[in-house]
Amino acid sequence: MTRLNARTLVLSGVAAALISGCAADGSGLTETGRGAAIGTTAGAATGAIIGSLSGDAGKGALIGAVGGALIGTMVGSYMEEQKRDFERQLAPEIASGVIRVQKLPDNQLLVGMTGATAFEVDSDRLQPSFYSTLDKISAIVSKYGKTQLAVSGHTDSTGSADYNQTLSERRAASVEYYLERSGVLPQRIYSSGYGMSQPIASNATEDGRRLNRRVDILIMPITQGWSTTPA
């Protein structure tokens, strides 16, 4: 189970996007459809955040911890420059399909990693070969500190729902812990698992299941009007 403490997100269940179309890789989604599904589930997670911060005091504490909120037009340029840094630093991983970086609405970013590359089989233990990639991610999110990170774990439909839920939570927590150990401010990071409930591809094929086994990091700017309460 994901660590239960004052910093853990409580994320409500959200329905996966139902995207039609056939992909050449057999996943059941076109590239456009897959991107839309990723964006839909990530956007829904943002709206579903209840969070551990309560009221103006909690929000103010986090804004103070990160040295102040982003203001006005600064938000867009700040997040765009961060996206470019991810694309530069993670170019080999992006090219090989290990990492995906996607711009979402409301100046949010999604950095996703495949479960097969990041974790040992059927385990929440991070692959040592993936440490260097996580080190790059840690360095970038530390550089752009005026953001909040929601780490979410996801599985395919193989196995029981209960087992997959627990595995997704443990994997999300492993990424959260690694970021913290790498120096990312703990108050900025939250994690949760969704099990098999938010596929981004068809579970009817191995290619689709591979895409669904993933951990996503949703990066949200902390602004003057920022809120942790649901929309």
Count the Cβ atoms, other than its own, within 10 Å of residue 72. 8
Question: What is the C-alpha separation between 39 and 101, in angstroms, rounded?
Answer: 11
Q: Which phi-psi region, left, alpha or beta, contains residue 163 (left: φ > 0; alpha: ψ -120 to 50)?
A: alpha
- Each residue's pLDDT tens digit, 71-122: 888 999 999 999 999 999 999 999 999 999 999 999 999 999 999 899 998 9
Which residue, chain included where needed, has tokens 């982003």? 70
Cβ atoms of 93 and 195 within 8 Å: the answer is no
Q: Which two tokens stand for residue 71?
A: 């203001």
* Average pLDDT over all residues of the chain: 79
What's the confidence (pLDDT) of residue 225? 64
Q: Which phi-psi region, left, alpha or beta, contains residue 97 (left: φ > 0; alpha: ψ -120 to 50)?
A: left
Which residue, chain included where needed, has tokens 């260097």? 132
Cβ atoms of 185 and 65 within 8 Å: the answer is yes
What's the confidence (pLDDT) of residue 56? 59
What's the confidence (pLDDT) of residue 103? 95
Cβ atoms of 180 and 134 within 8 Å: the answer is no
* Residues ≥6 apart with Cβ < 8 Å to 77: none
Question: What is the C-alpha separation between 58 and 189, in angstroms, rounded?
Answer: 14
Consecutive H or E run containing 109: strand 108-114
| pTM for the full predicted model | 0.78
Per-residue pLDDT, averaged over 130-142, amounts to 97
Question: What is the C-alpha separation between 114 and 99, in angstroms, rounded?
Answer: 7
Consecutive H or E run containing 149: strand 147-154
- Each residue's pLDDT tens digit, 153-210: 999 999 999 999 999 999 999 999 999 999 999 999 999 999 999 999 999 999 999 9
Choice between 180 and 14, residue whose per-residue pLDDT is larger: 180
